[in-house]
Amino acid sequence: MSLALGYACVMGGREFIAMARKKGINPSSRIVLGMIIAFFVVAALPDIPQWMIGIKVPDSFSIQHFPLLLTIGIYLSFFRLLFRNDNPPATIADIASTILGFIYVGWLPSHLVLLRNLTPVGMPITDNPLQQPGLAYVWATLFIIWGTDVFAYYVGKKIGKHLLYPQISPKKTLEGAIGGFCVAIIFSVSIALLADNVLFACHPFKFNIWQAPLMGAVISIAAQLGDLCESLLKRDAGIKDSGDMIPGHGGFLDRGDSIIISSAVAYYWVNLVVLGNI
């Protein structure tokens, strides 16, 4: 999962850089893409077998070092652009877009990898990847996002009459947003019940079924806001799609906009609410 998602985000980073350059802004492609890769490498380190790197990286390593990695990326953005041999020199917009690029397309979605590695405190660690609780959390997150996206589209197409935010996205409707939101809650409850009672012996959601609809609501809202955020970027850049790498669907950012924002929201929700790690 880490490799596939990391590759998609690197390609999304390229699309983000291209969008910025259409606005006459020149972010550092090396910093943006390098930091995206760095976030996914650090997030995936606990998954790497001990025999490959000589040590066993604890699951807490990634989240403990994310603030340091983010700080390094911000420093590099300033220093690299400060000494970039351009005429005129780098601008505020160049620096800001560089930082936004690796936060938006690297730091945020890499939380999905952190989510995959979450394990409740005191729970025995299993080598069976299909029985690791993090898999249940990722499945729940993705089904909530997909349910939101798919049903928001179909409900909006069938009965949508009131535009949600026409200045940013002229086709999204309030009815579609509500439809996607409701289905997300249904999916969240269904997956929590299946995970705890059928699919996972570790009971990843701890039978706290009351939390499931709240999780579905929070992630669904984040997914729809993520869709609008990417629409805002495209509208500002004056383009219809972020790219053409996925025939018939646009670019990687077009397909992953909901996941980008929702990944971090899902991670912190599960960590703080489901697992109670406050």
The pLDDT of residue 51 is above 60: no
Q: In the chain, pLDDT over 90 holds for what percent of residues?
A: 59
pLDDT tens-digit map of 252-271 = 888 888 999 999 999 999 99
Q: For residue 71, what are its two tokens?
A: 């700080």
Residue 102 sits in the same domain as residue 131:
no
User: Which of the given ranges, 39-53, 109-123, 180-194, has the highest pLDDT on average?
Assistant: 180-194
Whether 107 and 194 map to the same domain: the answer is no
**Chain segment 225-252, per-residue pLDDT in tens:** 999 999 899 888 888 877 767 666 678 8
Are residues 130 and 110 both part of a single domain? no
242, 22 Cβ separation under 8 angstroms: no
Same-domain status, 232 and 133:
yes
Domain-ending residue, one of 94, 117, 140:
117
Q: Has residue 33 got a pLDDT over 90?
A: yes
Same domain for 113 and 157, yes or no, is: no
**Are 113 and 158 found together in one domain?**
no
The vertex-15 CA angle with 265 and 89, nearest 5°, equals 105
Provide the strand spans (E) within the chain: 163-165, 169-173
**128 and 211, same structural domain?**
yes
Binned at pLDDT 50, 70 and 90, residue 39 comes out as very high
Task: Tell me how many domains the chain contains.
Answer: 2
> Are residue 131 and residue 113 in the same domain, yes or no?
no
Instruction: Give the pLDDT of residue 244.
Output: 67
Same domain, 16 and 45: yes
Q: What is the mean pLDDT of the chain?
A: 89
Rounded distance between C-alpha atoms, residue 30 and residue 26, angstroms? 12
Range of the domain at 199: 123-278
Mark whether 149 and 191 lie in a shared domain: yes
Sequential DSSP letters for 78-97:
HHHHHT---SS---HHHHHH
Q: Is the pLDDT of residue 13 over 80?
A: yes
Last residue of a domain, one of 85, 117, 149: 117
Q: What is the pTM of this model?
A: 0.91
Long-range contacts of residues 125-133, Cβ cutoff 8 Å, at least 24 apart: 126/202, 131/200, 131/201, 131/202, 132/202, 133/200, 133/202, 133/204
Least confidently predicted of 36-40, 55-59, 127-131, 212-216? 55-59
Q: Is the pLDDT of residue 153 over 70?
A: yes
Last residue of a domain, one of 117, 138, 168: 117
Q: Are residues 108 and 132 both part of a single domain?
A: no
**Same-domain status, 140 and 90:** no
